[in-house]
Every structure is written in structure tokens, then in C-alpha cells.
Structure 1
Amino acid sequence: MIETQEQRDEKHQTLVEHLGELRVRVVYCGYALIIATLACYSISEKIFDFVRAPIAPYLQGGGLVFTGPMDKFVAHLKLSLVCGIIISCPFWLYQIWLFVAPGLYAKEKKYSVGFIFAGTGLFLLGVAFSYFVVLPMAFHFLMNYGGDVDKPMITIDHYMGFFTQICLVFGAAFEMPLIIIILGMMGVVTQAFLREKRRYAIMTIAVISAIITPPDLLSMVLMLIPMCLLFEIAVFFVGFFEKKKTLAAVNERE
């Protein structure tokens, strides 16, 4: 079938509208991030004490070192930005929902509150898991590797880079089941498809875990186990929503 000029114009207009909507959501997320970052910067010293805690037992005097006059200031800015991302999580998740909601059925849009709470909870769970489980175990391995003759002198910039990368990566990784569930609600993936490709998914998770975690087997396993569990939870909920959609369709026909 040959596409008419009117149909091409309609597609172009739809694409432009989607890009415009995406731009608005990104701008709103940027505003929320700036406000949250400024709020966190006002208490950055207290936050820094909390962030330093996992590695403090392995440092001489319990403090980090810095070699440049701007290092400590920049570290506080980076920390404030990361905390701003975490605090503004519910808002930017809401903006993401507003962007994808037009592609869902009316009955599926009622899950917006659940989406925001689940997304926020999963992100915070990933950050908490990295802080209370992954980082202490990783530092215990890395700081004691090769004996105790050599003494660590960790700089603020290196530690902050390492800390923020791990926390944000785990926080983002724990959003995986929510993304899969949304794709399932939109009809992009099905429970049967996910079950069929389970071994490929686990292999992919294992490769990603090896890349984004510290260079030790323990950290990789600590990422792999919860991610596989979250994948199975996502598969279950995709099937749950499929059944609800099927039942709703049957009731409408009746």
C-alpha cells in the first residue's frame, strides 16, 4: 500500500509531538535535580560523613586525603549532585510515567502511583544494597588484598568517583524489573518470551555485573543474585498483568 502525503505528514507530526513532550519532561527533571542538589549541598558535610563511613575503618586517622585545593570542594559538589538524583527520584520517575502513559490503555494508567512508589523503592533499594552490603565487602577484599604492609591513602576524588559509580549503577540496575513490567504492559514482551529467553537474560546480567562491579568475584555475585531474583519477579508480574488484560477483554466481549 502506497503511503499518502497526508499519512506521512501525520507521522511526522506525531514524531515531533513526541520529541516535544520528551523535551518538556527532561526540562522538568532538570529543574527538580537542580533544586534537590542545592538542598543537599546545604548539608553536604553531614552527608559526606555518612558516605565516608564504609571505607573509614581502613584509613589512617579515618579520613580521606586530597592533593589539589579544589578536590574537596568538587567532591562535595559531586556528592550533592548524586544525592539530588536520589532525592528527586520520585519526581523524574513521575515524568517518565507521563511520557510513556499515552502508549498504555486507560486501565493500565491507574498504576501510575504504584509505578512511582515501586521505581523509587527499587532505586533506593539498589543504593542501600550497594552501601550496606557491596561496598563493605568490596573494601574488605580490596583494602586487605596482598597483606597489610602497604597502607592505603585514598584521595577524595577517587573515592567519590568509585562510591557514586557503584551506588548509581546498583540503583539503576534495580530498576530493571520495572522496565520489563512496563514493556510487558505495552505488549513489547510477553511472559512466554521472557521465559524462553531466560538463560540469555541471565548471561547478559552476568556480563553486565562483571563490567560494572569492582574487580572481584564476590561483588559480581552480589550483583548477579539480586538481579536474577528481580528478573524472575518481573517475569511473574508480566504474566500477572497479561492475565488481567485477558480477563478484561473477555468481560468486555461478554
Structure 2
Amino acid sequence: MNRTGELPEDSLMGHLLELRARLLKGVLAVLLVFVALLPLAEPLYARFAAPLLAKLPAGGQLVAIDVASPFFTPIKLAFFVALLLAMPWLIYQAWAFVAPGLYRHEQRLARPLLGSALLLFYVGCAFAWFLVLPAVFGFLTAVTPEGVAMMTDISRYLDFVLVILLAFGLGFELPVAVVVLVLLGAVTPAQLREARAYVIVGIFILAAIVTPPDVISQLLLAIPMCLLYEAGIVAGVLLKRRREGG
């Protein structure tokens, strides 16, 4: 019997076959979404470029330095969007593989944590897209020296925006990480409160590294992460009390 009271797999081969099946289902989902998005790759990139184009002077545009970048860059974006859209299904496949090895109370705790992690990642990406990127591009175009035309390569623009989106998406995972550490007993809420000053300094240093060299984008990442750190402490306390009480 395994930890949930169900019969175990017959052998290691059974686990490997199940893992392969889960991986194939995940890859197939990403590929299906990617193929569906391929006809929309060019208009998708046009929408993706809108935050920068909106801040450029009249007649401003993106350029393609590499010969093949007009073809490959929209496809790269389509794949990234497909990965984002298929993320819930990928997480479900990972959960379906791992869940049978967990106790039932561990499953009850893990489900909301996984859901919260996914939601916070999307919220972080949306926060970066709607608030941070317009502020960043507004700053960068404002400090462009007179007589210099800001003409950004489409591939480098894509890489720049993806880094910002991932930075904010992962940064917004901070409360989930805090809750996991508390539930695992690695730290206590009191220790997290005592380390608050060091954590805040670390957050601002991290924000300065992953964001462009302007104060606005650094603050837009650092301040929410500080608030999410506090939210993680509160959530960790509540979940710990609930588990101990149960």
C-alpha cells in the first residue's frame, strides 16, 4: 500500500511509463496550442510590440537586423504564449504523477499552493505588461538623446520583454515560497519577521539587477514583492495553525 492507501505500481518500469505518458500529454498540449497559434504569429507579435510602439515618436518602428528574424521571432513568441496557455495542463500532469505518493493532508495543502502559484505567476505577468512595460518604455524613450532615432531590433525587444515578464511572474511567487518554507519547518514566522530588513534589501538588489536601469521599474517590482513577502508570512501562520489544529 502507498501513502494514500492505494496499491503501488508493480515496478519501477510502471512509474517510468506513467512519467513518460504524463510528459507526452504535456508536450502534445503545448504543440497543439503552438500549431493553433502559428497562423496568428504575426498579428500576435504586432500586439506584443504595441507597448513600445505607443511610446515611440511618430513614424517610429521596430527593425529586423538579422535576415531570418522576421520569420523566427514571431514563431518564438507564439511558442512562449503556447507554453503560458498550456501551463495549467502541464501543472495538472505533474500533480497527477506526484499526488499518489502524498498523504491526504499533504494533498489538501498542495492543491491550493499549486493553484496560488499559477495564479500569482499570471498576475505578475499581467502587472508587468499593463503597468511596468509602459512606464519603462516611457522612461527609455524620454531619455533618448536628441538626434538619435530609437530603432529596436524585433528579436532583442522580444527577449527584453520576456525577461521582464518572467522576472515579475517569478517574483510574484514569493508568498508561495514563504508558505512552503514555513510548512516544511525550515523557518518560523518569527524568524521571517526578524529577517525582514535583510529580505527587503535583497529584494531591492534583485529588482535592480533584473529590471532596466530606471527607478520606476525597480520600485514596481520591489514594492509588490515586499508586500507579497508580508502576505506570505501571514498565510504561513494561518496554514500552520490550521494544520496543527487539524
Bin of the TM-score, shorter chain as denominator length: 0.7 to 0.9
C-alpha distance in 2, partners of 1:140/1:224? 19
Structure 1 residue 158, shift from structure 2 partner: 1.4
Q: Is the 8 A contact 1:90 1:119 kept in 2?
A: no
Residues 26-54 of structure 1, C-alpha deviation per residue, up to 9 Å, x if partnerless? 66544443333333323222321221110
Structure 1 residue 87, shift from structure 2 partner: 0.8
Between stretches 158-167 and 96-105, larger displacement belongs to 96-105
Residue ranges of structure 1 left out of the alignment (5+ in a row): 1-16, 249-254
C-alpha distance in 1, partners of 2:20/2:169? 24
Q: Is the 8 A contact 2:61 2:151 kept in 1?
A: no
Residue ranges of structure 2 left out of the alignment (5+ in a row): 1-13
Q: Is the 8 A contact 2:144 2:150 kept in 1?
A: no
Match of 1:114 in 2: 112
Between stretches 211-220 and 80-89, larger displacement belongs to 80-89
Q: Is the 8 A contact 1:25 1:99 kept in 2?
A: yes
Q: Percent of aligned positions with the same letter in both sequences? A: 34
Structure 1 residue 97, shift from structure 2 partner: 4.2
Cα distance change on mapping 1:89 and 1:51 into 2, 3 Å: same
Cα distance change on mapping 1:98 and 1:195 into 2, 3 Å: farther
Q: Is the 8 A contact 1:101 1:109 kept in 2?
A: yes
Cα distance change on mapping 1:159 and 1:146 into 2, 3 Å: closer
- 1:40 pairs, out of 37, 40, 48, with 37
Match of 2:243 in 1: 245
Residues 89-138 of structure 1, C-alpha deviation per residue, up to 9 Å, x if partnerless? 21233345456657764223124543343222211111111111111111
Residues 181-228 of structure 1, C-alpha deviation per residue, up to 9 Å, x if partnerless? 233333333322322222222222111111111111211111000011
- 2:149 pairs, out of 151, 154, 161, with 151
Q: Aligned to 1:88, what secondary structure does the other structure show?
A: helix
Cα distance change on mapping 1:238 and 1:26 into 2, 3 Å: farther
Between stretches 62-71 and 149-158, larger displacement belongs to 62-71
Q: Aligned to 2:59, what secondary structure does the other structure show?
A: helix
Cα distance change on mapping 1:179 and 1:22 into 2, 3 Å: farther
Match of 1:53 in 2: 50
Structure 1 residue 25, shift from structure 2 partner: 6.2
TM-score (normalizing by structure 1): 0.79
Alignment of 1:43-82 (within 5 A): 43-57=40-54, 58=56, 61=59, 63-82=61-80
TM-score (normalizing by structure 2): 0.81
Match of 1:170 in 2: 168
Structure 1 residue 88, shift from structure 2 partner: 1.8
CA RMSD, aligned part only?
Answer: 2.9
Match of 2:218 in 1: 220
C-alpha distance in 2, partners of 1:22/1:101? 13
Q: Is the 8 A contact 2:45 2:74 kept in 1?
A: yes
